[in-house]
Chains A and B, each alone.
Chain A
Amino acid sequence: MKLNILEKVKNVAKSISEFDVNKLKEADYKKLAKDFVYGKPHGERRLGDLYLPKTGLYKHREWRGLKDTFYYFNMIWLYNYAHMVTDIMKYGGLPAFVRGLWRYRWMGQTYLPVMHWFDRGLEGLRGEALRASAWHYRAMTSETIRQFMRMFAADVSNGGSKELHDHTLAHDETVWGGIFYPWRNNFDDVPLQMIPYFVTCHVNNHTVLHYIDAVQSIGLPGDPCPMCQAEAGIFVDDDMPDYYPAFVTSNEACDGSVATSVLQDWMINKPLFAMPQPMQFDDPLVLEHCEREIEECWKFIEEQTGQPFNFELLKEYLEKQNKLQEFEWEKWDVAANTNYYPINGVAQALYRIYQSQDGYRDIWAETDKKVRKILNKVVEKKIDSFPLTRHRVIAWSCAPLYYSNWCTWAYNCWGLNCIINRDSLMFDMTIRTDTYENCLHDMAVYHEWAPMRRMAVGGMHHIFELWDYMERFHCDMVMMYDQLQCKGMQGVHGLFEDEFRARNIHAIWMPHALPDKRVVSRAEIRQIVNDYMTTVMHEEPLDPSLLDFDDGESW
């Protein structure tokens, strides 16, 4: 420690002695002032120089010019910290929060550094893109707090309320929250893994490794999907609040998911309803089966809650959800046909998958209202939100963009602008509410189009819808996720290689193991992109400081 301080003092003394006064004289003050007021232009930013080695922490946060820096400070950093407090008070109060924080690893280790999640995702953004993307992050943070506060407030194993416990239903995160709309007036539905697993990985990817190790410690091999492993590991590690009397699960999306349910059922040991989706969902013959499964699930919920199914309530929520979908289409339209789309790839993807899977919540509607204003503004004023876009990229297959943090980096470093991703395109429909039959029909289809089912393991021809979407969104490059432990996508690897070659498409294969950075690190992912961009595309980086840096211990 002493040596360190001495060395630092020596270094400072050395730099003072080497300081060249001429440099001060020669400095371009006009340029400095301009950079101070407006921020450095893309290409001169050297964002990589801001990182402290290994940690991903900043020497100092990015100076984005006066307006955007203070927007970030006031409306993102301060605003979100303040709202985290108010959200906690609103959704259950400080005692429940502290109990949860003290008991559950995923809570304390993960959610406290949430502002760094914002930092990583919003790095380099300016103007309307910064604002619109940040609102997406804000909504996800708020909904996350609402969910974990409900878990803690109803957690009977940790001082929570029995009454709330009996009024909360749990479901696998791949079961669409809309199934529970008919009970939303008196009951809440909280997915089991959305908060302890899915969101935690984005915020702090240290936590999830613990759960993967936990499930392997009881004998599970290391090759099943790491997402499923982690989701099972949370239960094996006894790190799940006891907030529900019964739960609903599904086979979405794959063998690993079904198998995980078996292990979870053992650990949970409560009434379980399995609501599987048909695998061959294009077959019109499967629809009736799917509809009946949903209806049986409703009967199960009625039995567990003692409250009858309420079609009027279902309609009310579905109509609100349809509004969210209609706005999503507007967003896609702007993204596909203009350069003005102000939402970066990671905000688009995460918000969309979170919202569509979770079902309607007020926060989504409030956020969409704010984003709509921004969207209207950029379109009216023709503001190019990502002006240094060199390639319009579509991201395809099982997505790690949240964990790997490649998306924001790729734009800053190489001008690769991720316009849309596969997960966003899943629930591409509204649901009719005119009659019970139409409603049930559409809900079954919606349920069948769950994430990954439609474009990872639900029939090979859907996977190849990529080409149509490339055209629709005017993309010239594919970021092809190569989830090393997804059997469905690994099983179609060669055909994609053939198609890319035959169609002369630039595709970067990005190996990853979802949240398990020990298998493929962020640095390895960046290196693969760097190699492709230099050796195949023969391009120069926009920000060379981002080419190679060590963030191995970062969140």
Chain B
Amino acid sequence: MRDLKHLIEFEDLLQQANNDLVKQARSEGKRALGYTCSFMPEVLLDLPGCFGVRLRAPGCVSPDMATYYMSGRTCHYGRSLMERALEGGFNFLDAQMATETCTVTCRFQEHLQRMDVIQNPDFFCEFCDVPFKKTENSLLHYKTQLQAHVLDKLKEKFGIDTSDEALIKAIEEHNEVCRLITEIGSYRKLDNPTITGYEFHVINLVTMVCPKYLILPALRETAEEMKTRKADPKPNWRIKVVLAGAENDMPEFTNLIESCGALVVADRHCYGSLPGREEIVIKEGETPLAAIARHYIEYSCCPRFMPQDVMRGRKQYIADLCKEYKADGLIVESNKFCEYWSYERTIDAVVLPRDFGIPTCSIEKEYVNSASGQLRTRFQAFVESVEIKKLQEGEGA
């Protein structure tokens, strides 16, 4: 396929948290607000006068200082963020909008609160409590939290306009990003997709780590470009897979999978677009904030949700994605020391092949994949096994 015009530019933007667009927005007087988890609605951080940056720590292979503070037995992602913070890589942040949604990222953010890590006199870190259910009580709770710990704080500390009008404007901008990402992502549903999983991963990530208004022009152009992009007549992939699992902000990992012959057609993971890039709809009689709270609770498929129907519904969601995106199999990954996904992956690896007939490869990885040789072997073996299965099914038919 022909290279995407902005791909290299996008890749460059992912090399460091304080990228060119972040610098530009700050130079324009906008406040940079860090966050780690999809439960912190990025749309609230993209109000006029500020912008959200979902934190990553690319290239952090040896988080030595962070290991002193958080030991070597915690998630590598959380530690890498801590390392980057200690190195000064997040000094551009004006605030960290925190959620206590998984233990290690929570601890990382508590360190930002307690220690003088971020060298920015305005810096503060504020926590939101996030519910574990999708009930009315949870919605009300979440809405109250977002009002008190995000909107009120932004107004109080930085004078941000948090009126309904401002929220509606932010939702419109956010929805445009979601529309474009969904449109670009929809090409993955084709029999012979015109976009690779790696490319999509890069594009989706830049929308999380850059100010929306600055990334939108390139995104619009990319969506236009996609309309005429042709797939290679002879695909260089052997099977198509859904990639599900834990925190995954390294497109190199998607690339590794694809280099083994498995095209990633759907991204259902912490930094993925499924769910995550659905448009926010304000229902009649609903305030913008209530709509935002409802949207994030309704769409999230995080394994921390506890109601029985929701726990089980998560499996159905993956099965539906496999069908919708015509995937031949599923790769479900968890980061070492991630407890939520260790259990979720264990169940997925049994239930999805057994009850839904979806071949599943279950792997544990690090944030930065130093063990790529081992993973490559696993993925290659999985691709072969799915191919054999397809051949056998073809013979049987």
Of the listed stretches B43-51, B63-71, B200-208, B218-226, chain A binds B63-71
Docked pose: A417 CA to B344 CA in angstroms: 43
Contact of A259 among B106, B340, B362 (CB under 8 A): B340
Residues of chain A within 8 A (CB-CB) of B345 are 219
Name the contact of B69 in the complex, choosing from A265, A266, A495 (C-beta under 8 A): A495
Does the CB pair B137–A219 fall under 8 Å? Answer: no
Known pairs A219-B349, A219-B350, A491-B70; A296 contacts B135 (CB<8 A): yes
CB pair B343–A491 under 8 Å, yes or no, is no
Taking a contact as CB atoms under 8 Å apart, the answer to whether B100 and A224 are in contact is no
Which of B139-147, B248-256, B275-283, B289-297 lies on the face that meets chain A? Answer: B139-147
Interface string of B318-351 (1 = CB under 8 A from A): 0000000000000000101111101111110111
Q: How far is the CA of A173 from the CA of B362 in the complex (A)?
A: 30
**B138's closest neighbor in chain A, by CB?**
A289
Cβ contact within 8 Å between B342 and A262: no
Return the chain A residue nearest B147 by Cβ. Answer: A285
Q: Are B350 and A224 in contact (CB under 8 A)?
A: no
CA distance A289 to B129 in the complex (A): 11
Q: Would you call A285 and B107 a contact (CB within 8 A)?
A: no
Q: Which residue of A lies closest to B304 (CB)?
A: A258
Judge if A336 is at the interface, Cβ distance under 8 Å: no
Query: Given contacts A218-B350, A223-B342, A279-B129, is CB(A255)–CB(B114) below 8 Å?
Result: no
Query: Which residues from B are CB-within-8-Å of A249?
Result: 306
A174-229 CB contacts (< 8 Å) to partner B? 218-221, 223-225, 228
Interface string of A234-251 (1 = CB under 8 A from B): 000000000000000101
Among candidates B127, B306, B349, B364, residue contacting A258 with C-beta atoms closer than 8 Å? B306
- Tell me if A263 and B347 are in contact (CB < 8 A): yes
Q: Chain B residue with minimal CB distance to A295? A: B137
Q: How far apart are the CA atoms of A283 and B146 in the complex, in Å?
A: 13
Binds B, one of A1-9, A44-52, A480-488: A480-488
Number of residues in B with C-beta < 8 Å to the partner? 59
Give Cα A249–Cα B132 distance, bound, in whole angstroms: 12
CB < 8 Å neighbour of A219 from B75, B111, B140, B362 = B362
A292 in the interface, Cβ–Cβ < 8 Å? yes
Min CB–CB distance B142 → chain A (angstroms): 9
Closest to A261 in B: B306
**Cβ-based interface call for A493 (8 A):** yes
Cβ of A230 to closest chain B Cβ, rounded Å: 14
Say yes or no: A274 contacts B308, CB within 8 Å: yes
- Check: A494 CB closer than 8 A to any chain B CB: yes
Given that A259-B303, A289-B137 are contacting pairs, would A223 and B73 also be in contact in the complex, using a CB cutoff of 8 Å? yes
Contact B311 A262 (CB under 8 A): yes
Of all chain A residues, which has the CB nearest B142? A289
Q: Which of B129, B145, B338, B339 is the one whose CB lies under 8 Å from A228? A: B339
Of the candidates B68, B111, B144, B308, the one having the most CB atoms from chain A within 10 angstroms of its own CB is B308
> Contacts of B130 on A, CB cut-off 8 Å?
279
CA distance A142 to B265 in the complex (A): 58
Q: Are A460 and B131 in contact (CB under 8 A)?
A: no
Is A89 positioned at the interface, with any CB of B under 8 Å from its CB?
A: no
User: Contact partner of B364 among A221, A259, A272, A495, CB < 8 A?
Assistant: A221
Pick the residue among A251, A283, A490, A493 that contacts B306 (CB under 8 A): A251
B307 touches A274 (CB 8 A): yes
**Chain A residues in 8 Å Cβ range of B312:** 265
Encode B102-139 as 1/0 by CB contact (under 8 A) with A.
11101110110111000000000001111111010110
Given contacts A283-B148, A460-B113, A492-B70, 16 further A-B contacts (CB under 8 A): A218-B350, A223-B336, A224-B339, A258-B303, A258-B304, A258-B340, A262-B306, A274-B133, A278-B129, A283-B127, A487-B73, A487-B339, A490-B70, A491-B103, A493-B69, A497-B68
Q: Which residues of B contact A (CB under 8 A)?
A: 68-71, 73-75, 78, 100, 102-104, 106-108, 110-111, 113-115, 127-133, 135, 137-138, 140-141, 144-145, 148, 303-304, 306-308, 311-312, 334, 336-340, 342-347, 349-351, 362, 364
Those 6 A-B pairs whose CB atoms lie nearest each other, nearest first = A491-B107, A494-B69, A259-B343, A274-B306, A289-B141, A276-B132
